[in-house]
């Protein structure tokens, strides 16, 4: 095949290389997508943690700190006006609450470093208010001395409010920024997912396109080319391009096509030779059936005539020789007739039809009536199925097998039994006798033409009978063999195809 018809496999990428390249590309895209999505999720998690776990609690705690300071200021004022100790309870509780709230706000310093300075300002303002006003007022009230002026306390507490307001304002600013960062992170995650899905879809589409262009289409073209050849156009060359494996496959198919064409040419030539040989065989059959048998008949006739006219003039030895000549001529005629019948099986075919195998076996039995009566034989025929084939040929099979059962008998009167069993698409026929049997080592030899297991003087025949049966059965699509497991005689088994619509015969009781 030329290089223009099929690309050299080495000049193209192999499917393995395509697969590896596509897999590497897909892995890289998936890896990049996983990194992008993972980074977006991590960014979203950081933004959410900063807002909900750091800034949010700090804002709430700052508000709680302001409430605790107001409670302290209220407690100091109530105690100053009433002088009663229970009015100091809000002050004491406010101090504890302020400490707890301040600790929560201070915990956010790792994420909000600016809190250090702001908390210091708030702490200084609170300490100044307590040192300048709250503690002195409480001490003076307990001692019954006049307390510091209210204006001094108001000035210090206004400083506390101012520092706390600055802290709250800064936290609100950070919370607003954190919310915006959280929204941006969520948007980036959504965008990354959309881009990732789009990229994966693009990779899949590109992969499908490359697979279609590089694999599916070349395979489709190769299929069309092969189908055209399979439909009978053996002269059509198989041309294909594609990956190395497909190109190699196309090259192998083209090589096979060329080999088939070559073998077909040889088969056609052999067919012509066979047709010529069959024509010559037909001519030989004609000669054998006419030109050869005529001299044999004359030899037998003249020998018999010689014996009748001059028998009284011949001695016993001469009469014996004449008998040998007549017997040889007759056996030669039988042999020629058997050979003709053997050669015509499968060539001079009659009409194939459905026949009752029971009727065929019974006809064979009637043909052997004289031999059956002489041997006092018993032939038993079980119900047999309907088979498809040529009635004369199938009758000949039964006749040969029944005749062998009678011919090769022992001391007891011969019995022959014919049965049939179905096995899926075949019928298996069994012809069983109680004769001398066949040794297992000769089970194949008996079906070879002219092969005899006994001397001609012991059992008459030409050695063609079982070979004829084998040829007829194989002509009808079956097989025939000797059942070597059977003892006490001979069992010949053969198969024939079943007819789909035929019923299974019921054995009689």
Residue 439, domain CATH? 3.30.565.10
The CB-side HSE value for 261 (13 A sphere, CA atoms) comes to: 14
Question: Does 195 lie in the same domain as 107?
Answer: yes
Cα(14)–Cα(5) distance, rounded to whole angstroms?
A: 18
161 domain residue, yes or no: yes
Say what the pLDDT of residue 417 is: 93
Question: Does 410 lie in the same domain as 368?
Answer: yes
**At which of 221, 236, 255 does a domain end?**
221
Q: Is the pTM of this model over 0.85?
A: no
347 domain residue, yes or no: no
Contacts of 370 (CB under 8 A, 6+ apart): none
Distances (CA, A) of 481 to 202, 465, 492: 68, 14, 6
335 domain residue, yes or no: no
- Domain with 41 in it: 10-221
Say what the pLDDT of residue 286 is: 62
In this structure, the dihedral spanned by the alpha carbons of residues 274, 275, 276 and 279, taken in order and rounded to 10 degrees, is 120
Tokens 């990428």, residue located: 13
- How would you label 423-442 residue by residue, b for 16+ Cβ within 10 Å and e otherwise? eeebbebbbbbbbbbbeeee
Question: Does 453 lie in the same domain as 390?
Answer: yes
237 domain residue, yes or no: no
Question: Does 141 lie in the same domain as 44?
Answer: yes
Question: Does 178 lie in the same domain as 31?
Answer: yes
What is the CA angle 349-354-358, rounded to 5? Answer: 110
163 domain residue, yes or no: yes
Q: Which residues of the chain have pLDDT under 70?
A: 1-15, 146-150, 152, 214, 240, 242-243, 278, 281-282, 284-293, 296, 327, 330-350, 450-463, 500-509
Number of C-beta neighbours around residue 91 at 10 A: 20
Helix (H), strand (E) counts: the chain: 14, 7
What is the SS3 string spanning 36-80? HHHHHHHHHHHHHHHHHHHHHHHHHHHHHHHHHHHHHHHHHHHHH
Question: Does 187 lie in the same domain as 127?
Answer: yes
Question: Does 162 lie in the same domain as 38?
Answer: yes
**At which of 221, 256, 272 does a domain end?**
221
Query: Quick check: 391 and 355 in contact, CB under 8 A?
Result: yes
First to last CA, the chain: 70
Say what the pLDDT of residue 78 is: 81
199 domain residue, yes or no: yes
Cα(469)–Cα(484) distance, rounded to whole angstroms?
A: 18
The CB-side HSE value for 177 (13 A sphere, CA atoms) comes to: 9
Tokens 């088969």, residue located: 267
358 domain residue, yes or no: yes
Question: Does 110 lie in the same domain as 28?
Answer: yes
Number of C-beta neighbours around residue 71 at 10 A: 19
**At which of 274, 295, 329 does a domain end?**
329
Task: Tell me how many domains the chain contains.
Answer: 3
Query: Quick check: 252 and 240 in contact, CB under 8 A?
Result: no
Question: Does 183 lie in the same domain as 285?
Answer: no
Question: Does 131 lie in the same domain as 47?
Answer: yes
**H runs (alpha helix) in 311-464:** 316-344, 357-367, 369-375, 391-407
Q: Is 304 exposed, middle or buried (0-12, 13-18, 19+ CB in 10 A)?
A: middle
Question: Does 488 lie in the same domain as 369?
Answer: yes
1 domain residue, yes or no: no
Question: Does 183 lie in the same domain as 278?
Answer: no
What is the SS3 string spanning 98-138? HHHHHHHHHHHHHCCCCHHHHHHHHHHHHHHHHHHHHHHHH
């Amino acid at each position: 095949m030329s290089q223009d018809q099929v690309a050299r496999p080495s000049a193209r990428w192999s499917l393995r290389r395509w697969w590896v390249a596509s897999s590497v590309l897909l892995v890289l895209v998936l890896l990049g997508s996983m990194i992008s999505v993972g980074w977006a999720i991590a960014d979203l998690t950081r933004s959410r943690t900063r807002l909900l776990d750091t800034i949010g609690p700090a804002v709430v705690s700052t508000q709680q700190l302001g409430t605790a300071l107001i409670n302290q200021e209220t407690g100091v004022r109530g105690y100053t006006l009433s002088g009663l100790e229970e009015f100091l309870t809000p002050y004491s509780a406010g101090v504890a609450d302020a400490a707890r709230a301040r600790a929560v706000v201070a915990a956010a310093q790792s994420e909000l470093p600016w809190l250090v300075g702001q908390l210091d300002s708030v702490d200084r303002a609170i300490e100044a208010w307590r040192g300048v006003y709250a503690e002195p007022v409480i001490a003076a009230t307990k001692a019954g001395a006049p307390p510091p002026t209210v204006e001094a306390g108001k000035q210090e507490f206004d400083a506390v409010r101012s520092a706390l307001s600055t802290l709250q304002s800064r936290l609100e600013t950070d919370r607003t920024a954190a919310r915006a960062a959280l929204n941006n992170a969520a948007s980036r995650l959504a965008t990354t997912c959309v881009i990732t899905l789009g990229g994966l879809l693009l990779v899949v589409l590109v992969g499908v396109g490359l697979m279609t262009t590089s694999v599916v289409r070349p395979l489709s073209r190769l299929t069309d080319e092969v189908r055209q050849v399979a439909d009978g156009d053996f002269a059509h060359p198989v041309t294909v391009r594609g990956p190395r494996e497909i190109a190699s496959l196309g090259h192998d198919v083209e090589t096979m096509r060329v080999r088939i064409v070559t073998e077909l040419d040889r088969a056609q030539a052999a067919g012509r030779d066979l047709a010529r040989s069959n024509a010559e065989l037909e001519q030989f059959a004609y000669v054998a059936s006419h030109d050869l048998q005529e001299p044999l008949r004359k030899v037998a006739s003249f020998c018999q005539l010689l014996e009748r006219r001059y028998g009284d003039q011949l001695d016993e030895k001469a009469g014996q020789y004449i008998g040998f000549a007549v017997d040889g001529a007759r056996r030669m005629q039988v042999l020629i007739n058997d050979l003709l019948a053997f050669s015509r099986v499968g060539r001079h075919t009659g009409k194939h039809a459905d026949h009752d195998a029971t009727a065929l076996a019974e006809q064979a039995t009637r043909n052997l009536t004289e031999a059956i009566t002489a041997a006092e034989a018993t032939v038993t025929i079980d119900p047999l199925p309907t088979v498809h084939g040529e009635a004369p040929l199938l009758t000949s099979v039964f006749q040969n097998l029944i005749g062998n059962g009678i011919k090769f008998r022992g001391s007891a009167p011969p019995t022959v039994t014919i049965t049939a069993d179905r096995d899926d698409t075949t019928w298996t026929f069994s012809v069983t006798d109680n004769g001398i049997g066949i040794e297992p080592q000769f089970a194949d030899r008996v079906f070879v033409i002219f092969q005899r297991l006994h001397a001609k003087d012991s059992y008459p025949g030409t050695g063609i009978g079982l070979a004829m049966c084998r040829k007829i059965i194989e002509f009808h699509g079956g097989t025939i063999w000797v059942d070597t497991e059977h003892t006490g005689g001979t069992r010949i088994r053969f198969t024939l195809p079943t007819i789909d619509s035929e019923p299974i015969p019921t054995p009689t009781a």
